[in-house]
Amino acid sequence: MSRRIRLGVNIDHVATVRNARGGLHPDPARAAEVALQAGADGITAHLREDRRHITDADIAVLSALCLEADRPLNLEMAVTEEMLAIALRHRPHAACLVPERREEVTTEGGLAVAGHEARIAPVVARLAEAGIRVSLFIEPAPAQVAAARAIGAQVVEFHTGRYCHLPAEARASEFARLADAAAQAEALGLEVHAGHGLDYGTAAEVLAIPEIVELNIGHFLIGEAVFTGLEPAIRRMRAAMDAATGAPA
């Protein structure tokens, strides 16, 4: 059955380049506008505690831009009171809780939800009460999926970094782990997203998992933009995703 997968374009690394010179160029808001014109369904940005790329001012501009364009902003954030306050102020469409500190990270790199429910659940609840869709960026591991469901998340975003970093011939077992976790998540009523490290090839590959409804992709697209321009890079990703799922172009 054909299906159209949502593409969230993460524009963090436009800000990384901008910040390298401390000026205003290149502007992540301009990148967001181009991304939406090129077929992105939404914009993703990670306001890090250390503000190494996206800044508080960027989030204000991106919130207004997405509101105006009637497209979702997905705010990636650490599980802290500071980030919670910022999310509640801007009320993005979605918030994706991600690890930033070493002790919050699971073995492979997702948020350690299992074992940390008491710390994460209140943040999930306060975001959800404000009408923000809450996603947890986790490893495709049964315990993490079960914990995400238990603390009331609506969405899980599976960390595809491990899959993408493996050589192509060694990916089968990690694919199976992603597929099993996606099936488990959907059976529990969770919406399934995926992201991290995806390129044209790996994005198409993971879309063989039928439960995935959204991909969030940044680094590869911003890198490709150096060679092809941002709009063509996003259009090509959109086409690769549509070809993978049989969606009409």
Q: Which is nearer to ligand PXP, 2 or 227 (CB)?
A: 227
The H-or-E segment that residue 191 falls in is strand 191-195
Tell which one of 14, 47, 54, 98 touches ligand PXP (CB under 6 A).
Answer: 98
Q: Which is nearer to ligand PXP, 7 or 248 (CB)?
A: 7
Q: Which residue has the tokens 């495709």?
A: 140
- Rounded CA separation 194/198 (Å): 9
Task: Check residue 188 and report its DSSP letter.
Answer: T
Considering only residues 45 to 84 of the shown chain, the ones binding ligand PXP according to CB under 6 A are 46, 76
Q: Which amino acid is at 73?
A: L
Q: Which is nearer to ligand PXP, 36 or 155 (CB)?
A: 155
Window 109-148: contact mask with ligand PXP (x via CB under 6 A): ----------------------------x-----------
Question: How many Cα atoms sit within 13 Å of 79 on the Cβ side?
Answer: 26
Which of 221, 165, 233, 161 shows the shortest CA–CA distance to 13?
A: 221
Question: Tokens for 205?
Answer: 């590959």
Question: Who contacts 64 (Cβ-Cβ below 8 Å, separation ≥6)?
Answer: none
**Closest approach of Cβ 43 to ligand PXP, in Å?**
12
Return the C-alpha torsion angle 5, 12, 159, 188, nearest 10: -60
Tell which one of 5, 7, 9, 10 touches ligand PXP (CB under 6 A).
Answer: 10
Contacts of 62-69 with CB under 8 Å at 24 or more apart are 62/11, 62/28, 62/29, 62/32, 63/90, 63/91, 63/92, 65/29, 65/32, 65/33, 66/32, 66/42, 66/92, 66/93, 69/33, 69/36
Number of chain positions touching ligand PXP (CB under 6 A): 17
**Closest approach of Cβ 99 to ligand PXP, in Å?**
9
Q: Mind telling me the catalytic residues?
A: 46, 76, 196
- CB under 6 A: which stretch of 47-55, 114-122, 193-201, 231-239 binds ligand PXP? 193-201
DSSP secondary structure letters along 193-207: EEESS--HHHHHHHT
Q: Which is nearer to ligand PXP, 10 or 144 (CB)?
A: 10
216 lies in the site for ligand PXP, by CB under 6 A: yes
157 lies in the site for ligand PXP, by CB under 6 A: yes
**Closest approach of Cβ 150 to ligand PXP, in Å?**
20
**Closest approach of Cβ 193 to ligand PXP, in Å?**
8
**Closest approach of Cβ 85 to ligand PXP, in Å?**
20
Question: Tokens for 94?
Answer: 């979605």
99 lies in the site for ligand PXP, by CB under 6 A: no
For ligand PXP, the binding residues (CB under 6 A) are 10, 12, 46, 76, 96, 98, 137, 157, 195-198, 216-220
